Structure 1
Amino acid sequence: MSDSAIHAIAGAAGGIVAMSATYPLIFLSTRAAVETKKEQKSTYQAIVDIIKREGALGLYSGLSSSLLGIAVTNGVYYYFYERSREIILRARTGTNKALSTPESMLTGLIAGSATTVLSNPIWVIQTSQAVRTMGEDNQAITTKKLGFLETVQSILAKDGVGAFWRGIGPALVLVINPIIQYTAFEQLKNFIVSRRTSKLRAAGAATAVAVLTDMDFFLLGALSKLIATTLTYPYIVVKSRLQAGSANALKYKSSLDGLLTIVKEEGIEGLYKGVGSKVVQSVLTAAILFAGQRRIFEMTKAVSTSI
């Protein structure tokens, strides 16, 4: 099995673990992003209200489609990212095996674009499930929750096949999120490895090369995702509203028009609805993913080598 395929498997498995651990925060940030009223609830109050109306399981509406989505997203992303990385490094002369910043951005662009096009229908389904009990005026309504296949049938019956690519515009713009994330991760990783290696060699270990620990991967994953999410969150709001099929959002002429409309109608704060729970969720998910993906990759690699 190729390293790219093993990275894809490890990325999918790590993503499922991370998503399962943080899903209520995803649910809350999605609801908040779709909300168009200026009144904002605290995360605590939002949790209390949802549990009161829908029970504790209400916080997990759309989990099954999210697990499928994260498995596909991470699997495809890691495969294309590692494959592109291998091609770039193979074409390079010399012994340097670290990607430069432009190379990191290029691999992220290739992987992110492929992932976005292939996984967008799953995120449309997840977002539709997460906001199903919200009415058009963003008030809670009593309605039957739909499973994955039922949601697919509902979207097809109401809006047709094209609805599965709602929000693809801002989603493609958001390819910059993983580009920023993985570029920041690669460059921070290269810096730390280089610095620690220099210290080891200065201490007398002439050929030593520093190796990052699980905690290093956890912290670097958290920091790189924090940077990426903070910079791109306004587009996450636009994408969530379009994927949910919000009546207001469907009037947006473009991603930029969506941003300008939100600022006009809701103020700058409208671009950051749900940002608190989203940042916490994204940082935790990325930290768990980076640490877990590395460990799963090593175990899978060992197993495949021994077979």
Structure 2
Amino acid sequence: MILTYPLTTVSMRAAVKKEGTKSGVSGQLEAAIRIIKEEGIQGLYPGVQSAIFGIAFTQYIYYYWYEFVKATLEKAAGEGRGLTVTENLMGSAVAGAVTAVLTNPIWVVNTRQVVKKDGAKTSETSTFAQTVMTIMKSDGILGFWKGIWPALILVINPVIQYTVFERLKERLQRVRSNLTAFDFFILGAISKLAATGITYPYIVVKSRMQVAGGADDSTRYKSVLDGFKRIIKEEGIKGLYKGIESKIVQSVLTSAFLFAFKEELVGSAIGLLVLLRLRDPVSAVKGAASA
């Protein structure tokens, strides 16, 4: 999150801005340079604290519920039978839906911090508490669940990602059994590229719904379908893909780093456990017996 946050800032601001945003990689680069010029380097990191908290909380909720649903399905299936692909995807979808509902308030606050309202001082970024109070005043408690419907639809993003990742991993393992961190980096990048490319229009609608404040806000959409219709009518199909260049780079790098770091950390943890057991013969015997 920290490594790729500037790309998130550029992408989100482009996604919610209707006018004056150039398309393409050059447009995204120009936007980043303008942010640095007007706001300094810190302008690329508005709301980074809430994002770090949000991603940690999101991952915890997601994997907790995924393992809970998985264990429930395995118990229902009986011993000796693993879960099917459909059951795994169902577990991922349920976990994603619960996560979206529970964490949406965090991402609404983060979106408001990243995307400044017209007239706001470029050097100022509201704190988490200030943004919470602003949302409460303008939209009430329900304002924290703006964009929840596209967020629920975006549950398919990790489903697509992990499905593509596992299929590519299986095919690559047929060629060579020992995969390196670089292999996982590439697999993570390709799988996230596929997921982001398919679901990006929903990300645009969600961001605009989350940043909208007050009944007279022009970015307020009645529904996801209304959002699609109005964006296409006012900005054309390309309006659904504003900021996709930096978002794809950010998503791909995040996923790639995640899978690469994960494999390295797991490998290091296993190696450490082996060393500890070798230093303690009793634990080694017990470990062998339990295995």
Instruction: Please say which structure displays the higher CA radius of gyration.
Output: 2
- The SS at the match of 2:43 is helix
Match of 1:33 in 2: 15
The answer to whether residue 279 in structure 2 is matched with residue 294 in structure 1 is no
Q: Does 1:74 align with 2:74?
A: no
Q: CA, structure 1 residues 78+211, in 2 after alignment: closer, same or farther (shift >3 Å)?
A: farther
What fraction of aligned residue pairs are identical, expressed as a percent? 47
Give the TM-score of the pair, scaled to structure 2: 0.83
In structure 2, what is the equivalent of residue 23 of structure 1? 5
Which moved further from structure 2: 164-173 or 86-95?
86-95
Q: Displacement of 1:237 after TM fit?
A: 0.2
Q: Secondary structure at the match of 1:152?
A: helix
Using the TM superposition, give the Cα deviation of residue 304 of structure 1 relative to its aligned residue in structure 2, in angstroms: 8.5
Match of residue 40 from structure 2: 55
Counting only pairs closer than 5 Å after superposition, residues 1-307 of structure 1 correspond to structure 2 as 19-37=1-19, 39-40=21-22, 42-89=27-74, 100-132=84-116, 134-135=117-118, 141-142=121-122, 144-193=124-173, 195-196=174-175, 210-245=177-212, 247-250=217-220, 252-299=221-268
Partner of 1:249, secondary structure, is: coil
Deviates more, 1:286-295 or 1:114-123: 286-295
User: Offset at 1:81?
Assistant: 2.6
Q: How many residues align?
A: 270
Q: Does the CA-based 8 Å contact 1:104-1:182 persist in structure 2?
A: no
Letter in 1 for 2:28: T
The amino acid that maps onto 1:229 is: T
Query: Which moves more between the two structures, 180-189 or 60-69?
Result: 180-189
Amino acid at match of 1:69: G
Greater relative CO, 1 or 2 (CA 8 Å, sep 6+): 1
Structure 2 residue ranges without an equivalent (≥5): 277-282, 284-291
- Unpaired segments of 5 or more residues in structure 1? 1-18, 200-209
Shift of 1:301: 6.7
Judge conservation of contact 2:39–2:123 (CA < 8 Å) in 1.
Answer: no
1:131–1:232: structure 2 CA closer, same or farther, 3 Å change rule? same
For residues 188 and 93 of structure 1, what CA distance do their matches in structure 2 show? 29
Query: TM-score by structure 1 length?
Result: 0.79
